[in-house]
Amino acid sequence: MVNLTIDDKQVTVPKNTTIFDAAKAAGIRIPILCHDKKLNPFGGCRMCLVEVEQMKGRQIPACTTPVTEGMIVRTMTDEIAKARKLVLELLLLKHPVDCPVCDAAGDCDLQNLTYEYQVNSNRFTDEKFHHAIDYDNPLIERDMNRCIHCGKCARICDEIVSFGAYTFISRGIEAKMGTQFDGPLNCEFCGSCVSVCPVGALLARPFKFKARWWAMDKVKSVCSYCGTGCQLTLGVKDNKVLTTIYDENQGFHNGQLCTRGRFAYQFVNSDKRLTTPLMKKNGALVEVTWDEALNAVQQRLASAKTAGDVAGLVTPRLTNEELFVFKKLFKDGLGSENYDHSAGYAHSALSKGAVESIGVAASSAVIADIQKTGLLLVVKSDAYETHPVVGFEINLGVKRKDVDLRIISDKKGKLTKLPGAKTYLNIPGTETLLVNALAKTLVDENLVDAAAASITGFEEWKKSLDGAAPEQVAGICGLTADEIKTLARDYVKAEKALLLLPLGLGYPGHTKELAQALFNLSFAAGKHGKEGCGVLLLAEKNNSQGAVDLGLYPVAGGKDAAAIIDGCAAGSIKTLYVAGENLVVSYPNRKKVEAALDKVDFLIVQDLFLSETAALADVVLPACSFAEKEGTFTSAGKAVQKVNRAIKPVGQAKSDFEIFNTLYVNLSGKPAVADPKAAFAEITASVPAYAGLTYETLGDAGVVVVPAMTPKFAVAPGAAPTAEVGKMALVTGSALYHCGTMSLYGEGPMHVCPAGYVEIGREDAKRLTVQDDDLVTVTSAAGAVKLKVKVGSRMPEGVVFAPYHFADQSVNSIASGESVTWVTISK
């Protein structure tokens, strides 16, 4: 620790702390323009100049100068004030004073400091810049006339996002922030540059001219897209969510968001929102009152309760409290355990794999372990697309903490471009075989951790690996035996090593067996129960972890999602209650799903939008978005976080909690759950990992729960998919800009990725004589779909990729839920 004095105040801070951070820790404010806690110190703006007595009063930048023992610092003297005022005058020399029409007014650091230091005149004069303003980009407006050259946009894009869309171009007075060849901005559109820009040089176009910053209410909440659990602040005015507000002190991610979190909030106030209940009359859905709709639903459910032919499919986007009441409705109100979520398979790695391997439906690691590990082995490069902010954590781990990144994947991706990253391209569908071969290497070379032998199931597991030697499976997996052995040795020799696997509806091959193979590998290598070690299973949706924590899947003879669809088709399920799931688009084998729903006697759909599934319903109930209710979400990293109500319900929409609660009371005859807070209290009493939690203890930051785990080796057989001669391997998954189907109602994602596509490697494109944007027909045994071509260098020969999110270009029309779908492609 280092002791110093700042403005006559004694301060003790760790070694290598900067003067700026030491002052901040002591509650002393030093003005900044180019500094951000997430970024490496830059020292470019000179607003943070301070005087150090030992340096004879010389002014030095606080943000780049480390503290030393006995240092005496002055953060405000007459000379410092003059220097800062001079800096502001020089910045304003070329900066347009157009605050009345600048969207950053009120949130502009330059404006606020100019006011604070009373820069009401300028001793310098010069002509203003006349750079062309980029109005063409639908998400980010660039006005380099306002730029103050802090470099934050370039630094965050390079250091954290790892894209590098910006750089300084030209020199001297003509210098400016530019893009590749000074052309249009073409990037990931995460908006990180907008969030850190201290002026109005970079603006979020969807928010432009919507409101002044001081006129909005700021409501802290949690993003409702993927399972990362990013905290965000909603800017609210006139009962509308107008923007998300950057806060560098919010969440483990320090306010960092992806495209969905930054630019896809518009679904909350979309004109397409359902605002009144609908009921099918004379073959058409018409508006009805809540009383009429709920009476019809209640009567039907009561009848189905007697007949025992009811089932439910629910989205893991709902809060823990809503899922809790949904489960009570089915178990206590209807006497049924025919309920599931995420098509059944998308949570099996947790609900079956993890449960059998560690005794709980959770990961054995947390997101913070990414930057604490020594070697990170990612299964599927898609982890960046499914959970972009986790991707940022990987970027930071590799660039700042020297994490050794290895990737097993059926295609290349963003992660494969990181410094020192090594990608092992495997044949699609062989991931479990490959992981077992890694484990077999440890066994054969006597590298198994000594403690592993005491774990239940060890001998049976060892025996199950008899046919998994690298020499036996290398050709099947598409790697060499030496590559497999080297990776296994590197993994076990690393002091800390972490395994990461993304899950979701687009990844039917990420099964119970694959998860168990990964857990087995971590046990065998002694990489379990330690910081920076274990297995991190990235569940897809914002509350997927909460859904498995609450047991929203059948365990006692109830039907899972696949059996429910089959039951609908066979007539054994006559009443189906779908809450928030758009299974027509997101579940595999669209024709089968549509045919099954068409045979259901009574279909109830509860949703925000008239989705393709809702359009088939007998009754449609309008539900609230996350911004219209309170409750909790549990992230993939096991962080339980509070969701706060920001606006009143849109139209006549009701929260899922209120709808389920009403039906539960009427069908069970039991008292209602008083409110979400009371529901959470019941949850903490029934879910051991949540014991002791309250809304108050969660606070704004949330709490990472650590459930008790008991490791157990499980036999996890793997098998390669049978290739079909003359056909290509189609793998599905997530596009960077989308999550499930809800992002289709967000303006941001639809601006940059508005339609489905099929991604093809250059060699295959040449063979098929196709190029970017050509329309092709992709045909499988299940059907055919027309998609535009996207040609790139990341797809191996013979493998193509398509995202599953889109309704009009529905890949699930041809995919049947296998790890690989064999297809032909024709023009």
Provide the residue ranges of all domains of the chain, joining segments of one domain with +: 2-76, 100-114+121-267, 278-342+546-704, 346-377+433-540, 728-826
3-class state of residue 81 by DSSP = helix
Whole-angstrom distance, CA of residue 477 vs CA of residue 432: 10
CB 418 within 8 A of CB 398: yes
Enumerate residues 6+ apart whose C-beta is below 8 A from 119: 85, 88, 89, 92
Residue 97, Cβ neighbours under 10 Å: how many? 11
Q: What is the distance in angstroms between the CA of the first residue and the CA of the last residue of the chain?
A: 68
Q: Residue 282 has what pLDDT?
A: 94
Whole-angstrom distance, CA of residue 588 vs CA of residue 590: 6
CATH classification code of 728-826: 2.40.40.20
Q: Which amino acid is at 102?
A: C
CB 776 within 8 A of CB 792: no
CATH class of the domain at 346-377+433-540: alpha beta
CA-CA-CA-CA torsion sign (271, 595, 789, 801): positive
Give the pairing type, strands 619-622 and 631-634: unpaired
Whole-angstrom distance, CA of residue 734 vs CA of residue 801: 10
Longest C-alpha distance within the chain, in Å?
89
Give the pairing type, strands 575-579 and 310-314: parallel
SS3 readout for 171-182: CHHHCEEECHHH
Q: How far is CA 528 from CA 358, 393, 408, 537, 688, in A?
A: 10, 21, 20, 14, 21
Q: What is the dihedral of CA 504, 508, 511, 515, to 10 degrees?
A: -50
Residue 564, Cβ neighbours under 10 Å: how many? 26
CATH classification code of 278-342+546-704: 3.40.50.740
Q: Residue 261 has what pLDDT?
A: 95
- Let me know if 459 is exposed, middle or buried by CB neighbors in 10 A (0-12, 13-18, 19+): exposed
Whole-angstrom distance, CA of residue 249 vs CA of residue 256: 10
Give the pairing type, strands 799-803 and 728-733: parallel
Beta strand ranges found along 358-490 (DSSP E): 375-379, 404-409, 422-425
Whole-angstrom distance, CA of residue 646 vs CA of residue 652: 16
Beta strand ranges found along 238-318 (DSSP E): 240-245, 278-281, 284-287, 310-314
Q: Residue 555 has what pLDDT?
A: 87
In the chain (827 residues long), the average pLDDT of successive 10-residue segments reads 95 94 95 94 94 89 95 94 95 92 94 94 88 91 95 96 93 88 91 96 94 95 97 97 94 95 95 97 97 97 93 98 98 96 97 97 97 97 95 97 98 96 97 98 97 97 96 96 98 98 97 98 97 98 98 92 97 97 97 97 98 98 98 97 98 98 96 96 96 96 95 96 94 96 94 96 97 97 96 96 95 95 96
CB 201 within 8 A of CB 176: no
Q: Which amino acid is at 283?
A: G
Q: Tokens representing 742?
A: 């809800």
CB 814 within 8 A of CB 782: yes
* Residue 197: DSSP 8-state: -
Q: What is the dihedral of CA 28, 32, 38, 43, to 10 degrees?
A: -110
Whole-angstrom distance, CA of residue 257 vs CA of residue 252: 11
Q: Residue 473 has what pLDDT?
A: 96
Q: Residue 212 has what pLDDT?
A: 94
CA-CA-CA-CA torsion sign (18, 20, 25, 28): positive
Whole-angstrom distance, CA of residue 196 vs CA of residue 163: 16
3-class state of residue 287 by DSSP = strand
Q: Tokens representing 474?
A: 């290398």
Q: Identify which of 478, 421, 382, 472 has the alpha carbon closest to the alpha carbon of residue 798.
A: 478
- Let me know if 481 is exposed, middle or buried by CB neighbors in 10 A (0-12, 13-18, 19+): middle
Measure CA 62 to chain center: 35
Q: Tokens representing 472?
A: 């036996």
Whole-angstrom distance, CA of residue 511 vs CA of residue 379: 12
CATH classification code of 2-76: 3.10.20.740
The count of C-alpha atoms lying within 13 angstroms of the C-alpha of 173, restricted to the half-sphere facing its C-beta, is 9
Whole-angstrom distance, CA of residue 113 vs CA of residue 89: 11
Instruction: For Cα atoms 254, 260, 262, give the angle at the middle one, nearest 5 degrees.
Output: 50
Q: Tokens representing 358?
A: 């560690």
Q: How far is CA 826 from CA 598, 721, 766, 779, 786, in A?
A: 32, 23, 13, 8, 10
Q: Identify which of 280, 321, 331 has the alpha carbon closest to the alpha carbon of residue 557.
A: 331
CATH architecture of 100-114+121-267: 2-Layer Sandwich (3.30)
603-607: list long-range contacts, CB under 8 Å, 24+ apart.
603/575, 603/576, 603/578, 604/297, 604/300, 604/575, 604/576, 604/577, 604/578, 605/578, 605/579, 606/577, 606/578, 606/579, 606/580, 606/656, 606/659, 607/274, 607/578, 607/579, 607/580, 607/582
Whole-angstrom distance, CA of residue 186 vs CA of residue 201: 17
Bridge partners, residue 789, by sequence: 758
SS3 readout for 646-715: CCCCCCCCECHHHHHHHHHHHHHCCCCCCCHHHHHHHHHHHCHHHCCCCHHHHCCCCEECCCCCCCECCC
Q: Identify which of 600, 536, 535 has the alpha carbon closest to the alpha carbon of residue 566.
A: 600
SS3 readout for 133-172: CECCCCCEEECCCCCCCCCHHHHHHHHCCCCCCCEEECCH
477-485: list long-range contacts, CB under 8 Å, 24+ apart.
477/426, 477/427, 477/430, 477/433, 477/434, 477/437, 477/720, 478/425, 478/426, 478/427, 478/430, 479/424, 479/425, 479/426, 479/434, 483/424, 484/434, 484/437, 484/438, 484/441, 485/441, 485/445
Q: Identify which of 627, 556, 630, 614 has the alpha carbon closest to the alpha carbon of residue 580.
A: 614
Instruction: For Cα atoms 283, 579, 352, give the angle at the middle one, nearest 5 degrees.
Output: 135
Q: Identify which of 745, 740, 730 has the alpha carbon closest to the alpha carbon of residue 796.
A: 730
Instruction: For Cα atoms 199, 201, 205, give the angle at the middle one, nearest 5 degrees.
Output: 110
Which helix (H) or strand (E) covers residue 78, if one does?
helix 78-94
